[in-house]
Amino acid sequence: MKTKKALSFLLVSIMILLAACGQTNQGASGNDSSSQSPSESSKPSPAIETVEWDENGPETTVKVMYPWGEDNFKTFVLDRYEGAYPKNITLECVCIAAELKPMQEMNAKGIVPDIIFAGFGIDPLVELEMYEPLDEYVQKYGVNVDQFNKAVIATYRGMDPDKKQGLIGLPTFVDTVGLIYNKEVFDKFGVPYPTGQLTWDEVADLAVKMTAKRDGIQYRGLELGAGFTGGEALKPLQEFEINWTDPETGEVLIDKLPEVKKYFEQMKKFYSMPDLYNKDPEARGRYQFAELTVAMTVSYPAFIRWGMGGDPDKLKNIDAVPVPVWEAGGTGPNVYSHPYMLNKYSENKDAGFQVMLGFAKAENEDPVTSPRYEFATNPVYEGKNMKAFWDYNPAVPPVISKYDKLVDIEGSLKDFAESDMNIDEHLRKLKEESEVKIKEAKSLEN
């Protein structure tokens, strides 16, 4: 009997111990009805007085959530943005990727970053209710957001999960593209170099002229992304201000949109040109433009360095013009910039906002002349028309649909190019595949 009592006592003690251990979580668990929702916090106060950050105020440390480790943090944040944020603020790296799992592990450890580099999309921050719309701070510090890339700001407003056009973050470097061409190939075929922005039809006309064998080497007039099926092949489609899916219901719209059909017709035109599309499976994994056998490609400005290997001999005949558009004066591909976002749970929101603002202003300097950018300092870009990469009006989809990424148009291009290119059939198949993915994603939503 006494033994049983002793054992009972032991078990009860263990339970009490466990209950005590779990108390910190228990107290915080359960459906939260008291905490402020993001939409509530996003409402700007009607009478906020504009103030200035006091650089002579107390020293503050801002924790920056950054995914690529301390060394890169030093190079690409501390050194790059030196002097760009208030001098009484010190930055500290929370070197964790802003993805759902690492962020939850971070939360469990009680680490609270003040600002977050959303390099993996904003969904994890929205899921974990960690984002804070910036409108209140923009108003409070009298920031003119029009100074930043308007298309990116409009995209951020379109990404507001509360659908209230709230500003979800401030931009960093804006990814833009241009038409990069190889003068040597143009010379070989006796075609004059492009001098300004072309239309996709004009690009097609040029491409067909420069797709032929010379001296036993197969030349091609155009390549969009590695092997003509990479991400850059979507640029013509990204020039339309459309959503591929309904942002509310997730309905796949690609088979109903005339713009999508127009894009596939253009791609069919490219893929149907004899020898323009390289059927060799290995071609999908490399940029043939870098092998100097392609006349034109659409890519990012830094492609001239990383894509071409930085070899001065290779680069001497490379130049650029603005990205092609559907019609003269039309919109170019939409642009994006991974934002810094303010953590709703930060205790240093004002200081965090000042840091984000400093970063955004630094990144907003002219990329062709500012010493912060490689385009002004790296000799590989010398003498090239680098301004062309920023010389277009980017498209802005009305609302950003989170389901668009589940429609894998890029992944379907290889099959399209190597099939009989029946557009309706291809879109129907792609729609069905996308519907399965969206259904699965929705079933796991709360």
Interacting residues with other proteins (CB under 8 A): 2-3, 6-7, 10, 14, 18, 21, 25, 28-32, 35, 99-101, 104-105, 107-108, 110, 112, 127-130, 343, 345, 439-440, 443-444, 446
Give the nearest distance from C-beta 442 to other proteins in angstroms: 10
Give CB contacts under 8 A, 24+ apart, made by 413-418.
413/228, 413/229, 413/233, 413/267, 414/227, 414/229, 414/284, 416/264, 416/267, 416/268, 416/271, 417/228, 417/229, 417/267, 417/271, 417/277, 418/279
Helical spans, DSSP H, in 189-320: 200-209, 258-272, 303-306, 312-315
Give CA–CA dist 69/406, Å, rounded: 30
For residue 445 the two structure tokens come to: 């939503």
Owner of token pair 């062309």: 388
Return the number of the residue (103 or 276) whose C-beta is nearest other proteins.
103
Give the 3-state secondary structure of residue 1. coil
Give the nearest distance from C-beta 20 to other proteins in angstroms: 12
Give the nearest distance from C-beta 384 to other proteins in angstroms: 40
Give the nearest distance from C-beta 406 to other proteins in angstroms: 14
407 Cβ contact list (under 8 Å, min separation 6): 244, 245, 252, 254, 430, 434
Give the nearest distance from C-beta 6 to other proteins in angstroms: 6
Amino acid identity, residue 231? Answer: G
Amino acid identity, residue 209? Answer: K
Give the nearest distance from C-beta 2 to other proteins in angstroms: 5
Return the number of the residue (316 or 439) whose C-beta is nearest other proteins.
439
- What are phi and psi for residue 24, nearest 5 degrees? -60, -40
Helical spans, DSSP H, in 163-257: 183-188, 200-209
Amino acid identity, residue 357? Answer: L
Give the nearest distance from C-beta 446 to other proteins in angstroms: 5
Give the nearest distance from C-beta 129 to other proteins in angstroms: 6
Return the number of the residue (19 or 217) whose C-beta is nearest other proteins.
19
Return the number of the residue (6 or 328) whose C-beta is nearest other proteins.
6
Q: Is 350 left (phi over 0), alpha (psi -120 to 50) or beta?
A: alpha
Return the number of the residue (103 or 234) whose C-beta is nearest other proteins.
103
For residue 172 the two structure tokens come to: 């960093």
Helical spans, DSSP H, in 189-318: 200-209, 258-272, 303-306, 312-315
Give CA–CA dist 32/1, Å, rounded: 46
For residue 314 the two structure tokens come to: 């290779």
Give the nearest distance from C-beta 5 to other proteins in angstroms: 10
Return the number of the residue (94 or 198) whose C-beta is nearest other proteins.
94
Return the number of the residue (27 or 83) whose C-beta is nearest other proteins.
27
